Amino acid sequence: MINIEDLKQHLREFSEARDWEKFHSPKNLVMAMSVEMAELMEHFEWMTEQQSLNLDANSREEVAMEMADVMIYLARMADRCGVDLDNAVQRKLMINAQKYPPIEVE
């Protein structure tokens, strides 16, 4: 299981060791995340819904690596913006639960 705070710390140390901090502004990070999202979307372009649910092992691994890139940039951005991502997600889930109550099935 990923601990977001540990991930943020690891990525901060990784970036500092390579002198990348100067490039990791929120603007640059969100742009990089957008590029990674586009690369993730590329794997599903022109697939049917059913195909997208049944990836072969190779495609699943490629998709997993793109998803990891998105997560890495998101965690890095949270660190640079001073956002407690775990807390933000918990709050957002509560907001969504109130905004979108369960439907009653008859």
Residues 5-49: tens digit of each pLDDT? 999 999 999 999 999 999 999 999 999 999 999 999 999 999 999
Give the DSSP letter of residue 26: H
**Proportion of the chain above pLDDT 70, given as a percent:** 100
Distance CA 30, CA 24 (A): 9
- pTM assigned to the model: 0.89
List the chain domain ranges. 4-47+55-96
The owner of tokens 């660190």 is 79
Residue 58 belongs to what H/E stretch? Answer: helix 57-81
Rounded average pLDDT over 54-78: 98
pLDDT of residue 53: 97
pLDDT of residue 104: 87
Each as own residue / partner, the long-range contacts of residues 13-22 (CB below 8 Å, 24 or more positions apart, any chain) are: 15/76
pLDDT of residue 96: 98
Domain 4-47+55-96 carries which CATH code?
1.10.287.1080
Between 104 and 83, where is the model more confident? 83
